[in-house]
Structure 1
Amino acid sequence: MLRNNNVVARIFQRQIQTPPPGTSVHCARRFYENLVPSFTIYDVECPDHSFRKFTDDGQYLISFSRNHQDLIVYRPTWLSYSYKQEDCHLPSRAKRFDSFFTQLYCVPLASSNEVICKDFFLYVITNQFGLFATSTAQIHDAPAIGGAIQGVPSIERITFHLLRLEDGVILDEKVFRNDFINLAHNMGVFLYDDLLAVVSLRYQTIYILQIRESGNLVDVRAIGAFCREDDELFLNSNSQRMAVADRSKLHQSSGNHVDNGVHSNQLNSDNSFLSGIKQRLLSFIFQGIWSEETDKFQRVQCLKKKFYFHFQDYVDLIIWKVQFLDRHHLLIKFGSVDGGVRLFMLSTT
Structure 2
Amino acid sequence: MFFKSSNITARIFDRQICTPAPGTSVHYARKFYENLVPSYTVYEVECPDHSFRKFTDDGQYLISFSRNQQELIVYRPRWLSFSCKDEDCDNHDLPLKAKRFESFFTQLYCVPLASCNELICKDFFLYMESNKFGLFATSTAQVHDAPAVGGAVQGVPSIEKITFHLLRLEDGFVLDEKVFCNDYVNLAHNLGVFLYDDLLTIVSLRYQIIHILQIRDSGNLVHVRAIGEFCREDDELFLNSNAQGMALSDKNKQQQLLGNHIYNNIHQAQPNPGNSFLSGIKQRLLSFMFRGLWNEETDDTLVGFLKLNFGLLFLLPPCILLHFSFACVSDFQALHYLKIT
Do the two structures share a fold, i.e. TM-score over 0.5? yes
* 183-192 or 129-138, larger mean C-alpha shift: 183-192
* 274-283 or 237-246, larger mean C-alpha shift: 237-246
Contact 1:190 1:324 (8 Å CA) reproduced = no
Contact 1:5 1:34 (8 Å CA) reproduced = no
Match of 1:72 in 2: 73
Match of 1:348 in 2: 340
| Cα deviation digits, residues 284-309 of structure 1 (max 9, x gap) | 46667888999xxx98x877632343
| Cα deviation digits, residues 50-78 of structure 1 (max 9, x gap) | 11111111111111111101111111111
Normalising by the residue count of structure 2, what TM-score does the alignment of the two structures yield?
0.79
| Alignment counterpart, residue 100 of structure 2, candidates 96, 102, 107 | 96
What is the distance in 2 between the residues matched to 1:197 and 1:241? 35
Deviation at 1:103, TM superposition (A): 1.1
Instruction: Quickly say closer, same or farther: Cα 1:230–1:13, change in 2 above 3 A.
Output: farther
**Counterparts of 1:139-288 in structure 2 under 5 Å?**
139-244=143-248, 246=250, 253=258, 259-261=264-266, 263-264=268-269, 268=272, 271-284=275-288
* 305-314 or 176-185, larger mean C-alpha shift: 305-314
Deviation at 1:11, TM superposition (A): 8.1
Aligned pair count?
322
Q: What residue ranges of structure 2 are gaps of 5+ in the alignment?
A: 22-26
Contact 2:6 2:35 (8 Å CA) reproduced = no
Let me know the Cα RMSD of the aligned residues.
Answer: 3.8
Q: What residue ranges of structure 1 are gaps of 5+ in the alignment?
A: 18-24, 334-343
| Cα deviation digits, residues 78-126 of structure 1 (max 9, x gap) | 1111124513322111111111111111111011111000000011132
Structure number with higher strand proportion: 1
Q: Tell me, what secondary structure is at the counterpart of 2:281?
A: helix
Structure number with higher helix proportion: 2
Q: Tell me, what secondary structure is at the counterpart of 2:243?
A: helix
Match of 1:51 in 2: 52
Match of 1:336 in 2: none
* Moved >6 Å (runs of 4+): 6-15, 288-294, 301-304, 322-325
* 201-210 or 117-126, larger mean C-alpha shift: 201-210
Instruction: Quickly say closer, same or farther: Cα 1:115–1:14, change in 2 above 3 A.
Output: farther
Instruction: Quickly say closer, same or farther: Cα 1:291–1:70, change in 2 above 3 A.
Output: closer
Aligned residues with identical type, % of pairs? 62
Match of 1:340 in 2: none
Q: Tell me, what secondary structure is at the counterpart of 1:16?
A: coil
Normalising by the residue count of structure 1, what TM-score does the alignment of the two structures yield?
0.77
| Alignment counterpart, residue 331 of structure 1, candidates 324, 330, 333 | 333
* 206-215 or 143-152, larger mean C-alpha shift: 143-152
Deviation at 1:128, TM superposition (A): 1.3
Q: Tell me, what secondary structure is at the counterpart of 2:72?
A: strand
Instruction: Quickly say closer, same or farther: Cα 1:75–1:196, change in 2 above 3 A.
Output: same
Match of 2:24 in 1: none
Instruction: Quickly say closer, same or farther: Cα 1:51–1:323, change in 2 above 3 A.
Output: farther
1:41 aligns with 2:42: yes
